[in-house]
Copies of this chain bind each other. A is one copy, B any other.
């Protein structure tokens, strides 16, 4: 496979980083016709929608709720349980384990940079972070609440939350599911990881990537990965866009790898829309921090990133890569690891001298 002149690629990438590009002088003129807009740095900050403006107090409340396991039936599963901010924003499991040890049907997507997409969940059935956050609370294999009312009853019984909701939403009785998810979404909008080596590279720091990573970057483009994995989050989404790209996966269902990993058992977006044309269609997932979010794909069946690259090139692009080529792309992916913001552990409010989890059975007999 022709790797091409890497310095030229670097300059093209540099010139067309559409966001945050610093002024860089003393660069030679470049041909930008081929890859205009192809490489984009991640925004360092996400916009908030008019219906849910971000405030510092709302973010702080949302952080408490994000980490509060009492939103789950058993008091053991918080948003952070499956979207662990201490690592890749997922849980490292093929699919998540919720209340009572129940196991969900799909791999937990990362919450990092989830603001940089126009729809949520693997099948894109949710149009916003607010809407998405309502789902897991009442999903039987996740937080397992019978209804949102049960979660609201728990939260509303905690004096500290009552006060904080009133202050943030400027009204009495503001502990509602809509406000709970507004606060969580406001917090999630702060979960961005800019300034990866890749971002520094496209902003002009030629030394930010190794030669091998640059080869991987060009190969990633040359074989067509960027046709779907485009935009600042490598997920087919452009800044400001309200639509999301869905693609068929696997495209080549005859590939031996499809059977090996059971990749064709999930009908994807069809389950959400019931449209035949959506069968096996999935939202294009972000590749940001991909080296931290093993295992891979909707079913989490592929543990190694190198195998995931092989699956994609063979099933989606009919391209068989050499080991060295796979390695260069994996190496490029490590350059997509961003800077994680420092987060102070929240203090989640208590109900002094009283239980929040009143419906939980006491232990009957000691060990």
Interface residues of A (CB under 8 A from B): 64, 67-70, 74-76, 81, 84-88, 91-95, 97, 99-107, 122, 261-262, 265-268, 271, 291-292, 294-295, 298-301, 303-306, 330, 333-334, 340, 342-348, 350-358, 360-367
Query: Which residues in B have their C-beta under 8 angstroms from that of A265?
Result: 364-366
Q: Point out the residues of chain B lying under 8 angstroms from A330, CB to CB.
A: 353
CB-CB under 8 A from A105, the residues of chain B are 363, 365-367
Q: With the chains together, A342 CA to B343 CA distance in Å?
A: 11
Please give the count of copies of this chain that the complex contains: 2
A362 to B301, CA, bound (A): 5
Tell whether, in the assembled complex, residue A300 and residue B362 are in contact, meaning their CB atoms are under 8 Å apart: yes
Chain B CB within 10 A, most for which of A265, A291, A345: A345
Q: Are A75 and B87 in contact (CB under 8 A)?
A: no
User: Which residues on the B side are within 8 Å of A358 (C-beta)?
Assistant: 303
* Cα(A330)–Cα(B295), bound, Å: 49
Q: Determine whether the beta carbon of A76 is less than 8 Å from that of B91.
A: yes
18 pairs, CB–CB < 8 Å, chain A vs chain B: A64-B86, A69-B91, A70-B92, A75-B91, A76-B81, A92-B356, A94-B360, A94-B363, A101-B101, A122-B366, A267-B366, A271-B367, A291-B352, A292-B352, A294-B356, A304-B355, A344-B345, A345-B345
Residues of B within 8 A of A122 (CB): 366
* Chain B residues, Cβ within 8 Å of A261: 362
Closest to A272 in B: B367
Do A364 and B299 contact each other (CB < 8 Å), given the known contacts A70-B92, A84-B69? yes
Please pick, from B93, B266, B333, the residue contacting A76 in the complex, using a CB distance under 8 A: B93
Expressed in whole angstroms, the minimum distance between the Cβ of A220 and any Cβ of chain B is: 15
